[in-house]
Structure 1
Amino acid sequence: MTAVEVSPVRKRGRTKVFVLFAALLMALVVVALVSAGAGQYGLPVSDVLRALTGRPLADPYAEGALWAVRFPRVVMSLLVGAVLGVCGALMQGTFGNPLAEPGVVGVSSGAAVGACLSIVFGWTFLGAFTTPGAAFVAGLITTFAVYALSRSGGRTGTVSMILTGVAVNAVAGAVVALLMFVGDQAAREQIVFWQLGSVAGARWSYVWVVAPLVVVTAVVALAAARRLDLLSLGDRQARHLGVDVERLRLVVICAVAVGVSAAVSYAGIISFVGLVVPHLVRLVVGPGHRVLVPASLLGGAVLLAAADLAARTAVAYADLPIGMVTALIGGPFFFWLLRRTRTREGGWA
């Protein structure tokens, strides 16, 4: 095939990628602006833009609400959605399965155990950061435990890691149930609300903690994108092409552990973002991770910010848990994805 014959195909592919990123960036800006102004105390987008450009608003209460409550919440939803989308792309690329998502390696359930321990036993050694800190550390420990337990003969198989993750998730779920049983009524209610997921309590101090961890995860994901493309050919083929498969898996697992632990520790358990977003991007532009990773980052941010907007506006004078909203969206999509995989590709062996 000549270069003249190939160039139109490449041109169409580049055009599709450009349109996708332009649409995601536009959606990101629109959703962020609308979300910042929406709520029980509604503000027009013009006031939001005035506040962002440093011009004072006529209503000082509105300006205070924007900077103290609305903007931190919007930024936190963007950060959490972005890191969940990126980690979903990493997990699907590492396991070679579009049905994989970050919770497979036990990071979410492990973080839940840490948060529940802090809530039930009333730990306060880090002040307001105690529960998020306990969740973050427990998420890291659980993920590394899954990785260590799934290793055999110096290698880590994807099937053994998935099965180990299932077992660890089950144990973690039992521990959470035990802690809810021994805790008082207030602790139970707090645990239930935390597990449903929310960014309602976001503050700038929390944003400054999460943001660097999200950036590190995104940088690692972008750096590993090309090797993930080679890994999709199979472990043996990737090794022949010079990829250190075990090192790549370890780096990816570490990045996922850090990113998802940071997200879960401040936003609770938010499901399906890491599953839905990378798969939708893959349907549009294909499986290449150099496009899939940054597009999943933007798509995850847009999806979670939109879900948070729906959570705040769907029911008057109520703030729905954002994890419930994403589950309502992701559940039907997951069912459709399973049906599509089974009918068109014969399922996953």
Structure 2
Amino acid sequence: MIELTETAGAAPAAVPGLPSRRPGPPYPLVIALLTLLLAGAVTAGIAAGSISLPAGQVWGILLHRIHPALADPAWTSVRETIVMDVRLPRVLLCGIIGAGLSVCGMALQALVRNPLADPMLLGVSSGASVGAVAVVVSGLAVLGVFTLPVAAFAGALAALAAVYFLARSGGRMTTVRLVLAGVAMAEVLSAVASFLVVVSADPHKAQSAVRWMLGGLAGTTWTMVWIPVAAVLLGTVALLGVSRPLNLLLAGEEAAASLGLDVHRFRAALFVLVAIMIGTIVAVSGAIGFVGLIMPHAVRLLIGSDHRRALPAAALLGAAFLIVADLVARTLITPEEIPVGIITALVGGPFFLWLMRRRSR
């Protein structure tokens, strides 16, 4: 039986399938506040830039696009183009990616019963990056526009499967083995991706490949948004549908199996689902680390570890966080733009060290 590790901020499960939680703010209030936080982040993300726009004008343009009668057009066509065709698709993609990484991180932490699990730490993002970089530098387009997402998914799934089997020994999976296997796999795959970039004969393709490795959302268009939106929304709905089995895993493998859950088959299916989501995300944004580690812990501190409550909250908080991080990345040293993966690493690295020290105490 795998040793149970208590997640940060969550009390041990008292009843299988329904983890208990410490007293905190009412759940509807938390969701309402997170929704307001997300709305504020969206407004700031669209309004800020080389041409600043008033928040009221931003919402006026959005409402006018929904229905002309909702707002009188008191702005220029240039500003409407900036909002609708330049900033809105980028902010929407940021929100989707942040939400997807957060719910994937929460699912992975339940699947491996380890609060340090994260798409980046487990090598999933690096595996997806290798698949994406291989397609970019080779120029392959066997499946048309789906070639890059499929390649990223295949790399993510292969990396996740490798880490999972390397971390298990005698039917057990410890925190140390999981982290070591994930870090080693991530380093190896990052080296493979770097090698593919170095040997690329086309400098333009190599430059595009570097984008995936650093994580960035520059040049986002509406055509890049719809596939990640579909993957993250459908994946999140699927995870919500299996909230109870995820809760059962927090109580232990034996308890979950005694209540009729086929643990190994369930894990395999969820690993595939997470790999699809991460692969699709990395295909459009590159490897953005630590979002899937920070957000689940922040949510558990607020509302506990019951996935029926935690997954929606994690999606809202992750979306708001990445929108703000991207806003900082493109405005901190304007007109230059910092890859958003650097911003999330600067925030997530200290948080990860704090979490390790907290757990050791």
- TM over 0.5: same fold? yes
TM-score (structure 1 length as normaliser): 0.86
- The answer to whether structure 1 residue 39 and structure 2 residue 49 are counterparts is yes
Q: CA deviation digits over 1:119-146, x for unaligned, max 9?
A: 3223355666654553344334444565
Judged with a 3 Å threshold, the aligned counterparts in structure 2 of structure 1 residues 131 and 230 are, in CA distance, closer, same or farther, namely: closer
In the alignment of these two chains, the number of paired residues is 332
Higher relative contact order, structure no. (Cα contacts within 8 Å, ≥ 6 residues apart): 2
Q: CA deviation digits over 1:280-337, x for unaligned, max 9?
A: 1111222222111111111110110111111122122122111111111111111111
Specify the SS of the correspondent of 1:32.
helix
Q: 1:15 offset after TM fit, Å? A: 4.5
Q: Distance in 2 between matches of 1:201 and 1:209?
A: 16
- Contact 1:224-1:248 within 8 A present in 2 as well: no
- 1:179 is matched with which residue? 196
Could you tell me which amino acid in structure 2 is paired with residue 232 of structure 1? Answer: L
Indicate the larger mover: 134-143 or 282-291.
134-143
Q: Distance in 1 between matches of 2:279 and 2:74?
A: 37
- 1:204 is matched with which residue? 222
> What does 1:140-289 align with in structure 2 at a 5 Å threshold?
140-144=157-161, 158-159=173-174, 165-166=182-183, 168-184=185-201, 185-289=203-307
Q: 2:117 aligns with which of 83, 100, 118?
A: 100
Could you tell me which amino acid in structure 2 is paired with residue 52 of structure 1? Answer: L
Q: Distance in 2 between matches of 1:264 and 1:236?
A: 35
- The answer to whether structure 1 residue 83 and structure 2 residue 93 are counterparts is no
- Contact 2:212-2:282 within 8 A present in 1 as well: no
- The answer to whether structure 1 residue 305 and structure 2 residue 315 are counterparts is no
Q: 1:296 aligns with which of 314, 339, 346?
A: 314
Q: Distance in 2 between matches of 1:221 and 1:158?
A: 23
- Contact 2:126-2:156 within 8 A present in 1 as well: yes
Specify the SS of the correspondent of 2:336.
coil
Q: 2:135 aligns with which of 111, 118, 121?
A: 118
- The answer to whether structure 1 residue 21 and structure 2 residue 31 are counterparts is yes
Indicate the larger mover: 137-146 or 268-277.
137-146
Could you tell me which amino acid in structure 2 is paired with residue 89 of structure 1? Answer: M
Q: CA deviation digits over 1:134-193, x for unaligned, max 9?
A: 33443344445656777899xx75457766555543432232132133124544433333
Q: 1:53 offset after TM fit, Å? A: 0.9
Q: 1:70 offset after TM fit, Å? A: 0.7
Q: Distance in 1 between matches of 2:269 and 2:241?
A: 10
Q: 1:249 offset after TM fit, Å? A: 0.9
- Which stretches in structure 1 are left out of the alignment for 5+ residues? 1-9, 344-349
Name the structure where helix makes up a greater proportion of residues: 1
- Contact 2:25-2:303 within 8 A present in 1 as well: no
Q: 1:19 offset after TM fit, Å? A: 2.3
Indicate the larger mover: 119-128 or 212-221.
119-128
Q: Distance in 2 between matches of 1:157 and 1:27?
A: 40
Specify the SS of the correspondent of 1:254.
helix
Q: CA deviation digits over 1:238-287, x for unaligned, max 9?
A: 11122221122122212211111111110100000000000011112222
Q: 1:322 aligns with which of 340, 343, 349?
A: 340
Q: Distance in 1 between matches of 2:258 and 2:149?
A: 42
Q: Distance in 2 between matches of 1:175 and 1:250?
A: 26
Q: Distance in 1 between matches of 2:320 and 2:50?
A: 22
- The answer to whether structure 1 residue 72 and structure 2 residue 89 are counterparts is yes
- 1:341 is matched with which residue? 359
Judged with a 3 Å threshold, the aligned counterparts in structure 2 of structure 1 residues 80 and 190 are, in CA distance, closer, same or farther, namely: same
Indicate the larger mover: 132-141 or 264-273.
132-141
Q: Distance in 2 between matches of 1:170 and 1:313?
A: 30
- The answer to whether structure 1 residue 49 and structure 2 residue 66 are counterparts is no
Specify the SS of the correspondent of 1:243.
coil
Specify the SS of the correspondent of 2:103.
helix
Q: Distance in 2 between matches of 1:306 and 1:197?
A: 15
TM-score (structure 2 length as normaliser): 0.83
Q: Distance in 2 between matches of 1:162 and 1:74?
A: 32
Indicate the larger mover: 239-248 or 26-35.
239-248
